[in-house]
Chain A
Amino acid sequence: MGTQFWIVQAFNGVSYGALLFLVGSGLSLIFGVMRIVNLSHGSYFLLGGYVALSVINSTGSWALSLPVAALAIAAIGIAMERLFLRSEGFEILRNAVIALGLAVLVALALKSWKPNIVGTGLEFAVAVAIAAAILYFALSRISIVPIEMDVLRQVLLTVGFAFLFQQAALDIWGGNNMDINPPHGLTQSIVVGGLYLPLYRVFMIGMAVVIGIALWLAMEKTRMGAAVRATVDDAQMARGVGIDTNRISMFIFALGAFLAALGGVIGGAFLGIYPGLDFEMLPLAFAVVIIGGMGSLGGAAIGALAVGLADNFGKALFPEVSYFTLYAPMVLILAIKPTGLFGRE
């Protein structure tokens, strides 16, 4: 194990950390602003990769797939946040969405039990419409129970969505392991001091640095950023001085989903895109958030670097306990300083 080994492993670790920063920073901001533990964050990563695949397949443009996938998933994030993660407003739309979802399930069940009644597409649509109307009527008479203050129920709700997204991805894109192929220019290697470094990993680091700086500027130098920081520090007080925390949490949730999906597109080129990737990324993203401290951008950057390096060196040096060496520090940090290295209470 010469210096070359250390340099290559460190480089790989840093570039993996760059990817983890994209996933973790959004999760960290969401937690900081809304105090929501979002377990569907891994799904945003996976869905981002899948949407990018579809864009690439239909247009052939990798560069186009980045913004399209990220914006599409940000829209899903907004819908989730508005309709389900807060109880006020949009009751009609929420009931309509739930009724429609349940109605489709009812119709699907009818289709597999009694194909002679519900067989054709038209019959299916009629069944959905009837069921949705009945269910909507029923749902509008029951009130939902607010979940804003209850961490456990937020966790289970977002897990439920993660399962729904998983099945939807399986139905739409199938169960095969797929790869996102970046443009030819990015697949080459550059030689630095006798070392071959894949250009794509350099690109990943560059992308994370650019996004990190942009986020930092937005948080530190703009009015919106100041409002976000105020909300992280003390949401009640921020509301008290007239900051619209409701709008901020929507914005941050969208941003978090956007960044995770971007990570999915970028990471899909070397991790691949496959069912189950969502729940593989999720604990890693949490490790980033916890080590850095929830709600802190700088913390997320440090946490991402630490997790990226620990993951790479762990796998190279002591493969049998590599994940243990990743999560054990997370436990220690939580036990000693629960707010993370850079988090504020």
Chain B
Amino acid sequence: MNKQLIKIMIVAVALLALAVIVPRSGSFVVLLATRAMAFAILAMSLDILLGFTGLASLGQAAYFGVGAYLCAVLATKFHFGLGWDFWIVVVLGILIGMALASIFGLFAIRATGVYFLMITLALGQCVWGLAYRWNSLTGGDNGINMSGRPNFGLDLSNEVTFFYLVFAFFTVSLLLLYLLVRSPFGKSLSGIRERELRMQILGYNTWLHKYVAFIIAGGFGGLAGVLWAQTNGHVSPETVVLTTSVDALLMVVLGGAGTLIGGAIGAAIVFGLREYLSTLVPWWQYVLGGVYVLTILYLPTGLIGIPERIRQARGGTSKKTSGSGEAKKLASVPS
């Protein structure tokens, strides 16, 4: 319990430091941090599925995409959401993410393992296909350019103001998701991840639990999408493409699945690579690919798991056995 408190303190201090340091570090860092935090909400929503329920979704970008497109379409076609009604758009974004997930969940939840991966991939591709081809609504390949951010007393076109808004959303999301996973409902999700059959025998309706988790993740995905659209000012099929879903997965695994904050750390690192390193060197994608490969080969428990791995390696057990022990532990986590 005490250990948990220390972890919470560390996260709180880190968040506080972020809120103080980032706005003083130049506009590029502010922009980067804003984007990374919007995406981190998506990564954390995926962690609810992957890390806590054991469902590896390859289509989380779908909810992100509908949120983003909703925001962009409302703003450009109906001039809605440019003032105080931005808050309505936020609510609508969450609702549309949840609605889509409640439809998709009906198809996907029954599947397990690799079939769950495949069906979420197909569902994500359905949304991508519509975004890419439905020219009259989505602008097709070109996407939608949004003109400026909302202004409701607070002028969000100011990058620092907007950073604080996204920061607030991020913090609240983290808090809500943390409360969720600590709740009895969250505990039963972990139970499903560890062994679904046992939970069924204990009388839990595991389908319903997974379905609800799927919808909650969809809602946070939609929220992340709305924020992303405002951050970027531009929404295109790139937002819903397969690689976005895969990126979100990598962020969670890189940071550490089943830790929530791991997804945020992963998002910061991947965005740092994608957006910052790409301005420095043309070969940045080697680094990104390398991070993927090395994370998978050497860091099954993610960056957060490094101290634990070092402790294990020093704990006298030989390298071989600790390796296979880790694998066994992990094999029961995802898929």
Contacts and interface: CB of A to CB of B under 8 A. Distances in A.
Given A286-B118, A335-B107, A144 B298 contact: yes
B91 interface: no
B129 A324 contact: yes
Interface stretch (A16-24, A102-110, A257-265): A102-110
A282 B283 CA distance: 23
Interface in B275-294: 280-281, 283, 285-294
A326 B121 CA distance: 13
Interface in B297-335: 297-298, 300, 319-320, 322-324, 326-327, 330-331, 334-335
A131 to B, nearest CB: 13
Interface stretch (B153-161, B173-181, B238-246): B238-246
Nearest to B325: A145
B84 interface: no
A28 B134 CA distance: 31
A143 to B, nearest CB: 4
A153 interface: yes
A164 B290 contact: yes
Given A145-B300, A152-B335, A160 B129 contact: no
Contact of B121 (A102, A145, A167, A286): A286
Contact of B293 (A84, A143, A283): A84
A319 interface: yes
A281 to B, nearest CB: 11
Given A155-B249, A338-B111, A283 B281 contact: no
B58 interface: yes
The winner among B113, B246, B288, B297 for most chain A CB atoms within 10 A is B297
B110 to A, nearest CB: 7
B294 to A, nearest CB: 8
B193 to A, nearest CB: 13
Contacts of B330: 145, 150, 153
A149 B327 contact: yes
Given A157-B293, A331-B123, A283 B117 contact: no
B125 interface: yes
A90 interface: no
A142 B253 CA distance: 19
Given A286-B121, A323-B125, A334-B111, A156 B134 contact: no
Given A163-B288, A327-B125, A327-B126, A146 B117 contact: no
Contacts, number: 181
A328 interface: yes
A155 B104 CA distance: 22
A155 B283 contact: no
Interface residues of B, number: 62
A160 B293 contact: yes
B335 to A, nearest CB: 4
A167 B286 contact: yes
A321 to B, nearest CB: 7
Contacts of A166: 285, 289
A152 B283 contact: no
The winner among A84, A109, A149, A338 for most chain B CB atoms within 10 A is A338
B56 A152 contact: yes
B296 interface: yes
Interface of B: 50, 56, 58, 107-108, 110-111, 113-115, 117-119, 121-123, 125-126, 128-130, 132-136, 241-243, 246, 249-250, 253, 280-281, 283, 285-298, 300, 319-320, 322-324, 326-327, 330-331, 334-335
15 contacts: A39-B246, A108-B281, A143-B319, A143-B322, A145-B326, A150-B327, A152-B335, A160-B289, A163-B292, A167-B285, A283-B121, A290-B122, A320-B135, A332-B107, A338-B115
For the complex of A and B, the 6 pairs showing the least CB-CB separation, nearest first, are: A323-B129, A160-B292, A163-B289, A164-B289, A167-B285, A160-B293
